[in-house]
Amino acid sequence: MMPVVLLTDAMVYLLLAVGVAGALWVRRHPHLLLPWQRVARNGVGMASLIVLALFLLVGFLDSLHYRAAMPDRNNGHAVYSPEVLSAFDAAVGELRSRTEKTYSAPLAAYLYARETHESEDGKVLRDYPRLKFGGAHLADPQRDWAGDVLKRALLGGGLGALAGGMLILAFRRCAPMRRHGPMAVLLLAGVVIGSVASLAQVYHVLGTDKVGQDVLYLSLKSIRTGLVIGTVTTLVMLPFALFLGVAAGYLRGWVDDVIQYVYTVLSSIPSVLLIAAAVLMMQLVIEQHADWFNTAAARADVRLLCLCLILGVTSWTGLCRLLRGETLKLREQEYIQAAQAFGVSSFRILTRHIVPNVMHIVLISVVMDFSGLVLAEAVLSYVGVGVDPATISFGTMINAARMEMGREPMVWWTLASAFSFMLVLVLAANLFADAVRDAFDPRLNRSS
């Protein structure tokens, strides 16, 4: 196989490296480590972090891309498939390739709609055909289906609970794992993952869509898109908000006036219209230069990265306002005035005193804005100005489910799956953000 590094993959690796470096830096400084120890003592925060870690694991595996070697060779040189796969695709095995004819309900053994066919004795019948993969191992689904589903769910759930219990024992000396919340979440996650993995071997756990793709696979693939939108957009937004907000609050004067004018004008433009106009212009450039991309995945990835850049450029104004106000307050503190009186340069004051004292606002805002960015992608893809149609995301799934909800019989599981995964991801991010906010709020932690 040939490794492939897409642009968003490089951004993910960069964020991972920054996170590891930041964790090592915090570990060596007790005053920086103290708030995170408060987060570790928060049961709800650690429980939500476990859920986020599972999503991050799926997103990271889906960011390790490669192109498989073809069996044919050209003059001794390997020929690689134009399809770009990921380590996640390899991990789920046949879940990606087991496609049915059309819709099938969750855990079903038959298609969702009746079809007309001719029986062996020449009669024309109209009934529900058997699925090619879902429940194909059952001799008589009407008789054996319920028992088989129950047996596989209990077996997989038991193995998952055993794995979760072993992880708890392995980390029993870790203080956060001594709390009931993280332990319960880890056990519950083990049971759910074990049951789903066991059933997914022979069933479509969340059904199939119009073209027969497994909805569970589509939902898991959508996680990477949501995480990239939430994290890469933050990487783009932070320099604008941090630099301009601190500069406006500390330098004041005409610098403050110019920066306020810029973000006030930008905030007065309807964000959806501004993003839609930028995305449409970006689409036109990509279509006119199709020769820039050697694979369809690279083309879709560039559009995803451009969407992150557009969202980042248009979403920094709120954090910039917060940082400006906090810097104006810090500028009047005695230690800042003392540093100015001793002739300390403005650059040193900003880097040693101002920026470190506003980083808690940056951290809390970034974590809380993550959920908003994930929801923004879903809304933009729903109205047709989001990610490339070839990119699997929660927004494209919801957009596809729009027509399915009006058909007869109604196909509800695509929308329900996208909604459930988004709900869990956003809820976990919000709960973790609350724990971080409480840990970094000095008014709540004066005794520490």
- Tell me the pLDDT tens digit for each residue of 149-208: 999 999 998 998 898 888 887 776 665 555 677 788 888 888 999 999 999 988 999 989
- C-beta of residue 324 within 8 angstroms of C-beta of residue 358: no
pLDDT at 57: 92
pLDDT at 298: 81
**In CATH, what class is 218-432?**
mainly alpha
Nearest-angstrom CA–CA distance, 405 and 369? 30
Dihedral angle computed from the Cα positions of residues 189, 97, 230 and 426, in that order, rounded to the nearest 10 degrees: -40
Dihedral sign from CA coordinates of 366, 371, 372, 375: positive
Tokens of 110: 């038959």
How are the residues of the chain apportioned to helix, strand and coil, as percentages rounded to the nearest 5? 70, 10, 25
Tokens of 60: 């990271």
pLDDT at 319: 86
pLDDT at 174: 61
Residues of the chain with pLDDT under 70: 72-77, 117-120, 172-179, 441-448
pLDDT at 73: 58
CA atoms within 13 A on the CB side of 328: 13
Q: What is the pTM of this model?
A: 0.85
Going by the DSSP 8-state scheme, the letter that residue 409 receives in this structure is: S
pLDDT at 426: 86
In sequence order, what DSSP letters do the residues of 115-133 get, joined into one string?
A: EEEE-TTS-EEEE-PBPSS
pLDDT at 448: 47
Q: Which residues pair with 115 in a beta bridge?
A: 127
What pLDDT, in 10s, does the model give residues 304-332?
888 888 888 888 888 888 888 888 888 88
Cis status of the peptide bond prior to 141, with omega within 30 of 0: no
* Domain chopping of the chain, boundaries: 218-432
CA nearest to 15, candidates 228, 285, 257, 327: 228
